[in-house]
Structure formats: structure tokens, C-alpha cells
Structure 1
Amino acid sequence: MPISPPRAAGLAALGPRPRALAGLTALVTSAILACATCGSPGSGPAKTGSVEPPAAPPRLTVDLVAFARVMGAVAPCGCTTEPLGGLQYVFGYLGHDIDPQRRLVVEPGGLLIPDPKGPEAPHDEAAWAQAYQRAGALQERFASLGGSLVAGVGANDLSSPLAQEALKRWPLPRVLANSRAFDELGVVPHRVVDIPGTDGKPALQLGVTAVHEPSPEAVKLLGPLEPTTSAAKREVAAMRAAGADVVIVLVHGTRAAAVDVAEGVPGADLVVTGIPEGTEKARLGAPATRVGHGWVLEPGDQAQTLTHVRLSIDPSALAALPGPDAWKVQPSAEVQAKELERLDARLTKFRADPAADPGYIARLEQERAALAASLANEAAPTGAVAVTFEQQKITCKLPVDAAGAEALRSYDAWVATQNQQRFAGVKPPPPAKGQASYIGGEQCSACHDAAEKHWATTRHAGAYETLVKVNKQFDLSCVGCHVTGFRQPGGSEVVEVAGLEDVQCEVCHGPGSIHAETPEKAGKAFGIRREAAVDVCLGCHTAEHSDTFNYEAYLRDVLGAGHGEGRRALLGDGPTGRELRAAGLEKAGGACPKQM
């Protein structure tokens, strides 16, 4: 799939392309009901002697898969009920039911290196070594896409000398329109990708440019940045003049920045939001929305959810491809499945209501039957250009890419070997004079046997073993939340964890050496914290790593016989942490193997 070099053009080359607003509203039910009986057995065979119409030429199917910032993520934390992401599943998806000759993958920049302000940001030599290994694995798999990849440049690509070195070391087909500071690295203002037709000859051209939102931090790292709208206008015009039939603008910025470009740049068919805001959008992105001339796409970050746009084009339309206002939007399987769930819920409600109108229930049942039939037998695309938009979650239910899976196994093995050597004999500093040290749960159980027995029934007691099973007990991204006193004075380190494996008593109650020597003073517990405030839990139970965490519900598991029975009684009945997690796993369709 060849990539054409950028060619200059004036704004006049764009030409007037009036567009009418369109949307997805009411699309699902009306489209499906209209086609519900298409091709059904009841339509009967053709009459004897009738002349069959000539077969229509095959439609051209083109797939665009958009990422937001990947930020060095190769696999998700396996502690959530539905881990999203993973190199092996990303490329398993890209290689399944998508023609590699008619595929374009785009990412807005920030691919290789973690966000310097994020929780995965490397802060020391060992963490940077791991980040570099992940960057290498990412670059190898993304580079394998060849000419079907176009990448942007992000501020975190330049956030440190090591990040800048990664950008130079691992070249990819990158674009950036509102800065020319990276020309020496092969970064160009835009690229035009040729897509072959069903006959193998060039049939369609996809143009891609990228702009970076000029935030103060971005300007500090990237230098002066031209306003996004003016830069995008110039490059969209140039791409149209170069023959681009569909134009994509990657915006390394928030949705607001993407909307500004979509509204201010005539001729931008698809605008990709590079930085989703908020935990939920970071995971799932948001459905495509019609803005201005085209559509704004919003994938999730860290390759957790991709936005997949599939164009089905009538060959007769290729000579003068209509713009987004004329595209026929077809509901994706994802949208139809959600609508089916909604109809099922409504039917359950009204069937249970004796006063419900039978005619209304019958209409809902008809809608449901048509929708179920459509899901079972996907309707053929129609119109000059038919398009589906899908937010594809990257889960362990997807096909596995063998090369991606092997890259992760190699990474885990490298981390285990390197960090065992690097941290052998390394211990945290001793506590200051008069301060407590960590002693381990075994010493605690000498006086608190009943509490230890209850603790052994909790998930905290198996925290370290979950890492050992997948060779991640030496991984800096994981180990700190699976041991006691990690990198605290008198606590544990990556290798030196003997007696402090798992989430033991002292994680919640603090180091216990002083308490062990003097358990009480004046009839009260001494040298120990009786209760753990929610902030203690939130150090590890973050939204990204513990999606079902609820303080009171989780306390109902942690407290019990011999361990805070009175406090447990005050909590009363209610959901437990185990129940919340079980519900989350059921909703996700079952557990995934722990990754990273």
C-alpha cells in the first residue's frame, strides 16, 4: 500500500462541498425494520423464465482503525473485572476480518512513552529500562503495518531526553502539520495513502494529517505551534489537490480541540480525538458524532478501545466520492446489541404490567424480532457509501496475534531476569531512630491468631501469588501493590520481600515493630494504627486498577471474626467486595488471565 509524498495546494483546490447535518438518531430501528424481510424465505423463488439481473460489481470495503494515545501500554493491569488493551489482542483484531490491503491505522502521537504525569511514568533507571523494552515491542508490531499506518507526534514523545531518543531510534510514518521542528526525523505535514480496488488497481486515496493542541506544556516541549485550524485547513486543501478522496485529521488534544477543527475545517471528513478526558472515556472513548462537515471520532487511550470505521463503497461512486453528508450510516453490531438489550428490558417491564397496552407490547415484539434477525443476518450495505462506526473494546475475547503474544512473553521474561539481577540484595533504608519497622504478618499472628485466620480468607492473602503465576513478581508496574511496605523504610523491595509477600496487616495498620515490643500503653493499643482510612486503600485501589472498589463493601470482606467484629457489625448488611467483583466479572462475560 504505497504512501504518496505531500504536495502543496491552495485553499481554492478544496472547492465548495456543501454538507447537510445527519445523525444516528432513530437509525437502528428504522433501518432494520425496512430490511427485516429482505431475502426471507417467504419472498419465494424466481418465476420460471424470468431474466436474472446482472450481478452488481463487488463493493469496495475500506477499514479505518483509530487509536488515541497508546502511551507505551502493551498490556492492561489484570486486576480489573474487564481488563482492556493488550498488544496480542490489538493486533489479533487488526488481523481478523480486516483486509490488510484496504486498511488504514492511525494514531495521534504519544505511542511509545508513558505520560510523564501519569501513574506509569518512569522516574528512575529501572523504570525507564522497562519503558524502553515496551516501546521496542510496540514499535516492532506497529512498524509491521507498513504503509497502512500513519502516526502523529505527541508532547510526551519529547518529555525527556530518553523519550526524544526513542522518537529518533524508532521511526514510523509520522505526520504533524502545525510544527516543522521534526522534519529531520521524517515527519511530514501530511501523507496520502493509496487503497487498491477489488481489481487490485489504485481506487481510493486516503489523506491524513495531524495537529497538536497548542497547550503551554506542548509549546514548551514542541516549540511554537501554528493554530490547529489554520494548519489543518492548509493540509486538507493540499491533500484534496493531491487527489485524496477521504481526509482524516488527527488531533493530539482534547475533544474540544477536535470539535474546533471539525467545525473550522471544511473538507475534514473524519477528525480523531487524541486525548480522551475522564476515566470512563479513557477506557471506552465515545461514539462517533456528526460535527461540521464530517465526524468526530473518540477512541479510548492505551489501546483500551479503538474506533473502527468501515466504508463500503459502490464502485460507480469512486470517480466522485460523495462526502459524509451523503454517507449512509448503518448501525454496527455493537449498536444493535445495545438496542436489543434496551428492548428486552422494556418488554420485561411491560409484560409484567397487567395494565400495559397489548398492542404496544406487540409492536415492541415486532421491533425486537426484526432487530434479532438483523443481528443474525447482517443486512448488505447499500448506497454510494455506507459506513459503520464501532467502538471496539480490546478484550481477551478477541483473536490472539501470535507475534504480539510472543513479544509480551519475551518482555515479561526480560523484566524478571533484569530486575532480579538489578535488585538482588537491594533493600529500603532502615527507619529513622525511634520509628517503627516492618515485621511481617507471621509475628502479628503470635498475638492475633484469629485475625490472621480471617485475613487468610481474603484476596489480600493471595496477592503476591497472582503475580508469581504469570512471572510478574519482579515487574515495577505490579509488585508495589502486591507486597507489604514496598520501598518504605524498613519494608520490602522488588526482590527482597521475604516475610512481606501479599497485602498483610501492616499495609493497613502501619509498621508494627514498636507495637510488637509494647502492645499497649494505658490500656490502649500502642504504636499501631487501629483503622485504615480510605486514603490508604486508594493508594492501590484506583479506578484504573480496581474498578469495583467501594470502601464499605470491601471492608465487609476484610473485617470479620477476630478482626474488627464490632466494626463489621456496624457496617450491617450490604454488598461485599466479593459480590461487587463477581457482578463485574459477570457483566464482562468472565475473567481474563492476568496480564500487566
Structure 2
Amino acid sequence: MRILGLCISLWFGSVLAACSPLPDSQAPSQNTAADHKPPRQVLIVYSGNTLGELKPCGCAKEEDQGGIERRMGYLNSVVPKESNLLLVDLGDNFKESTRQGRIKARYLMAAMSEMGYDAVTLGDRDLLYGNEFLKKQDSIPWLASNMELEGMNPPRTRIKTFDDGLRVAVLAVADPNLFYVSDHGGLTMQDPAEAVKHLLPEIERTEHPDLVLLLSHMEREKALKLLDLDGVDVVINGHIENESDQIDMQPVVRGHKIFMQAAPLGQKMGELRVLIDGGNKKIFQQRMVRLDSKIPDDKKMTALHDAYDQEIEALFFETLKAKRTKDRTQVYATESTCKTCHAAAHETWEGTRHAHAYATLKAVNKSFDPECLQCHTTGFEKPGGFISEIDTPELKNVQCEMCHGPRLDHSQAPQGGFAPEARQACSQCHVRKHSPNFNYKTYWPKIQH
């Protein structure tokens, strides 16, 4: 057995945790059936915390990761090579209760259905559009070990048996506090640890799993405690408050068990390879795979995203009709007026990327996307602000008043005192996924005026 364990370790290369063999007094007999089982392995691939990111916006090279096209491209390269593969998601796939957010959610669910997930955890954000929306996603393998949803009946456990006989039991629990704070209706939840303690004995008795995987949706420190539960081998956690959250993705090894967390915004896929020898000794190898431009886009997912773009464009023109009938009292002076008194500042502005922000949207066919327009135009979705390049061409780009606020009144009766507001305005658009290296002290000299 010791020789076999050494060979397995050398074969794996970079081993994070190898479970030590039992002492001789506890070791199974050399004549048991377990000793004659060949080594087997499973690759657990995990995602989570997507928050509706169907495709990275491309504003910053450092954050140009993720998206359904690359996720499927990655899976296309991995699935054919792995005979034992388990694909799971940790939840928080949705972001906000807007029409565009709901459309994104629908397309993301269609994408994940095509990807062939084995289990998907229900996060608190996943109830954003209600139980009825989730019920319609009947091709998604929802898993909920400690919750009951009115009108839904997701299984409490999932067992996957591979062709070589390897059996993996999967459970998924979530922190009730996350759900009750959000006031989700029709929901009953049990303490996560108690739910697992209740389910595991029956699973062990009837299914005899070789590996028990627990998916959790909660804060990291709470999830780490689940690693102490008897019978649990692997815990993978997911939960994100907002898109700028930093997530610790370093694995934690405790004894013969391992804990990991999913990456933010679906930017990386996690891989955990588990090798189990004939004596049920487990060896873990974990890594995170960046879904960057090196990953080829999947054509089917590209077509799906194109369909999403078409629907968002239709939504844009639908809302445009309503905006044209609303009160359009002018409150913005526009950059052409500002330059009459601030010629030097205007000249500096013209040389910055702010002055050409709208053109970058046109170049990638995103000039109809509300989520992009709010940071590439002046006053979009605000009274008197940008509507469209036909209706309000004078408000294209990131103009003076994006930082200094609507100043038509100032242009008519000049007075100072509003410059300090500009610094606070930067944080509205220069968030982590758009400007991961943003620092006011280093960025300000580029546009100083």
C-alpha cells in the first residue's frame, strides 16, 4: 500500500494533500475487496458567483476573463479527455432586478443547460426573480439540501456513478441568514450542518459513496466549519455580495479534507482532481483556470450571446419611445458650452479617452446596451441626460458634466465650488471589473486640467 501511495503521488506531480495511510492496527486486511480496487479518479470542475456576466466588457485587459463563450470553450477542451468529470456551480448567478438583468438570467440559464452541469447550488441572488422563474429553468439540476421552495421540489442529494464504479455524493447547503435578510417568500430553511448530519447516514447506508462533496453558499468562515463534519471529504463554497468583492481562492487542507471557493464573476473555472486508491486514500490536486483570450470561444455560445444582444437592442428601442415622451428639460450645458470659458481644460479633455468613449461602444456594437451607455455617455438614465445618438448627440462621450454634474445653470451664472465633486464621480464607473488598477493619484495626471 505504501509503495502504491508513493507511485500515485509521483504520478500526480503537484500534490496539495495526500491522506496518510491508516496505522497498521487500523489498516484493512490485505484480503479485503477494497485492496484489489484499482486507483480511480474524478475531476471536479466548479464555477460560481457569475452575477449575470455573460461576457466580459473588455474595458480592461486585466479583467478580460470569463463569459459563456469561453466557459464552453474551456469545457470543450476538458470534457472529452475526462472519463470521470463532475461539473458543479455554487450559485449567485443573477445580479439585479431589472428587465435587462432578467433577460441576462434567462440566457445564462440556457447556456448552463447546454454545458451539462451535474449540480447547481441555489444562492440568495438566484431567488431574485422568484420561484416561478426558477421553475421554468427545469433543465438546470438545482440542488438544495437544507431548503424547501414553494412550488419547487429540488432534490436534497445527487449521486453520480461513473463507468468505473466510482460513486460521488453531492449535497448543497446555504446560510439561512442570507435568504431571510433578502425576505424571499415561500422559503423554509434548516440549519446547514444539521441538514448534512441528517442526510449523510442514509447516503452512506444506501449509496456507499467513495467521495462526499458538499457545496455551500455562505460566508467563507462559516463554510470552513462544514469541513469538520464527519463524512464530508470536500467543501466548495460560493457567495458574493458585489462584483468588486475579493475572494480567497487558495485551498485549505484540514487533515484528509479540502476546502475551496469559486472565483468572482465566472472569470475562472476551478479544478479539483481527486485520486482514490484501493484503500480509499485520497489525493487532492487543485488549480484555477483563467478564462482569458487564450480560451477559444464556443460558436454555439457566441450565437446565444448574439441573440441576447438582439433582445437588448430591441429593449433599448422599446424604452426609447417612452423616454422621448417624458419631460426633457435641459439641465446639461454640454462640452461645447463648457469650452467657451474653459478652453484649456477642454483641449486636455479632447486628448483623453473620455472624449471618445462612445466611439468605443460603436466599435464593438454595444451602443444600445444600457449597462455600457451609463459609463460611455453623459447623464444616461438621468433627467435631461443622454437618450440616443439621434436624440441627444451632444451628450455622447464622458463629458465635463459626468464628473462635475449638470451645470447649465453654471454656464448661465458662473460660480465656483463644485470641483471637489469630480473626485467622487470616478468611482461610479472605475470599478474593479472595468478598471482593476484604478488609483486616483495615478489616473488624475492623465486628464489633469
Q: Does the TM-score normalized on the shorter chain lie above 0.5?
A: yes
The answer to whether 1:539 aligns with 2:419 is: no
Alpha-carbon separation, structure 1, partners of 2:179 and 2:158: 27
Which of 501, 508, 514 is the aligned partner of 2:409? 514
Which of 194, 216, 232 is the aligned partner of 1:230? 194
Alpha-carbon separation, structure 2, partners of 1:274 and 1:144: 22
Question: What are the superposed Cα offsets for residues 100-156 of structure 1, whole Å, 9 maximum, x if unpaired?
Answer: 652111113333x21xxxxxx23xxxx32x22322222222221244x521122222
Post-superposition shift, 1:272? 1.0
Question: What are the superposed Cα offsets for residues 370-417 of structure 1, whole Å, 9 maximum, x if unpaired?
Answer: xxxxxxxxxxxxxxxxx3200222222212222122211221122123
SS at match of 1:210: strand
Residue 90 of structure 1 is matched in structure 2 by 71
The alpha-carbon distance between structure 1 residues 416 and 554, as it changes in their structure 2 partners (threshold 3 A), is: same
Which of 177, 181, 187 is the aligned partner of 1:215? 177
Alpha-carbon separation, structure 1, partners of 2:102 and 2:220: 29
Residue 22 of structure 2 is matched in structure 1 by none
Post-superposition shift, 1:176? 1.1
Any residues of structure 2 matched to 1:258-273 within 5 Å, and which?
Answer: 258-263=223-228, 265-273=229-237
Question: Is the 2:90–2:122 contact (alpha carbons within 8 Å) kept by the matching residues of 1?
Answer: yes
The alpha-carbon distance between structure 1 residues 28 and 154, as it changes in their structure 2 partners (threshold 3 A), is: closer
Give the residue type in structure 2 aligned to 1:501.
Answer: K
How many residues end up aligned between the 2 structures?
411
The alpha-carbon distance between structure 1 residues 420 and 277, as it changes in their structure 2 partners (threshold 3 A), is: closer
Alpha-carbon separation, structure 2, partners of 1:546 and 1:245: 45
Question: What are the superposed Cα offsets for residues 9-58 of structure 1, whole Å, 9 maximum, x if unpaired?
Answer: xxxxxxxxxxxxxxxxxx96999xxxxxxxxxxxxxxxxxxxxxxxxx99
Question: Is the 1:305–1:392 contact (alpha carbons within 8 Å) kept by the matching residues of 2?
Answer: yes
Alpha-carbon separation, structure 1, partners of 2:379 and 2:156: 50
Give the residue type in structure 2 aligned to 1:78.
Answer: G
The alpha-carbon distance between structure 1 residues 403 and 58, as it changes in their structure 2 partners (threshold 3 A), is: farther
Residue 250 of structure 2 is matched in structure 1 by 287
Residue 475 of structure 1 is matched in structure 2 by 369
Alpha-carbon separation, structure 2, partners of 1:514 and 1:136: 44
The alpha-carbon distance between structure 1 residues 508 and 70, as it changes in their structure 2 partners (threshold 3 A), is: closer
Any residues of structure 2 matched to 1:196-215 within 5 Å, and which?
Answer: 196-197=163-164, 203-215=165-177
Give the residue type in structure 2 aligned to 1:174.
Answer: W
Any residues of structure 2 matched to 1:296-445 within 5 Å, and which?
Answer: 296-312=259-275, 317=278, 320-322=279-281, 324=282, 327=283, 387-424=284-321, 426=323, 429-430=327-328, 437-445=331-339
The alpha-carbon distance between structure 1 residues 28 and 180, as it changes in their structure 2 partners (threshold 3 A), is: closer
Alpha-carbon separation, structure 2, partners of 1:154 and 1:193: 22
Residue 133 of structure 1 is matched in structure 2 by 103
Alpha-carbon separation, structure 1, partners of 2:381 and 2:68: 30
TM-score by length of 2: 0.83
SS at match of 2:294: coil
Instruction: Identify unmatched segments of 5+ residues in structure 2.
Output: 1-12, 18-36
Residue 166 of structure 1 is matched in structure 2 by 133
Alpha-carbon separation, structure 2, partners of 1:174 and 1:395: 28
Alpha-carbon separation, structure 1, partners of 2:132 and 2:434: 30
Post-superposition shift, 1:430? 4.6
Alpha-carbon separation, structure 2, partners of 1:411 and 1:247: 37
Larger Rg: 1
Alpha-carbon separation, structure 1, partners of 2:356 and 2:38: 56
Give the residue type in structure 1 aligned to 2:135.
Answer: K
TM-score by length of 1: 0.63
Alpha-carbon separation, structure 2, partners of 1:537 and 1:424: 31
Alpha-carbon separation, structure 2, partners of 1:254 and 1:516: 50
Alpha-carbon separation, structure 1, partners of 2:380 and 2:424: 17
Post-superposition shift, 1:277? 7.0
Post-superposition shift, 1:558? 0.9
Post-superposition shift, 1:450? 3.1
Percent of aligned pairs with the same residue? 27
SS at match of 1:477: helix
Residue 589 of structure 1 is matched in structure 2 by none
Question: Is the 2:72–2:115 contact (alpha carbons within 8 Å) kept by the matching residues of 1?
Answer: no
Any residues of structure 2 matched to 1:41-120 within 5 Å, and which?
Answer: 60-83=40-63, 84-99=65-80, 101-111=83-93, 113-114=94-95
Question: Is the 1:283–1:305 contact (alpha carbons within 8 Å) kept by the matching residues of 2?
Answer: no
Give the residue type in structure 1 aligned to 2:222.
Answer: A
Give the residue type in structure 2 aligned to 1:189.
Answer: R
The answer to whether 1:554 aligns with 2:443 is: yes
Question: Is the 2:403–2:423 contact (alpha carbons within 8 Å) kept by the matching residues of 1?
Answer: no
Residue 149 of structure 2 is matched in structure 1 by 181
Runs of 4+ that moved beyond 6 A? 277-280
Instruction: Identify unmatched segments of 5+ residues in structure 1.
Output: 1-26, 32-56, 115-120, 198-202, 328-386, 520-525, 565-596
Which of 123, 139, 153 is the aligned partner of 1:154? 123
Give the residue type in structure 2 aligned to 1:131.
Answer: G
Post-superposition shift, 1:177? 1.3
Post-superposition shift, 1:270? 0.8
Residue 143 of structure 1 is matched in structure 2 by 113
Give the residue type in structure 1 aligned to 2:270.
Answer: T
Question: Is the 1:73–1:302 contact (alpha carbons within 8 Å) kept by the matching residues of 2?
Answer: yes
Alpha-carbon separation, structure 1, partners of 2:16 and 2:266: 33
SS at match of 2:176: coil
The answer to whether 1:502 aligns with 2:391 is: no
Alpha-carbon separation, structure 2, partners of 1:504 and 1:492: 11
The alpha-carbon distance between structure 1 residues 216 and 504, as it changes in their structure 2 partners (threshold 3 A), is: closer
SS at match of 2:374: helix
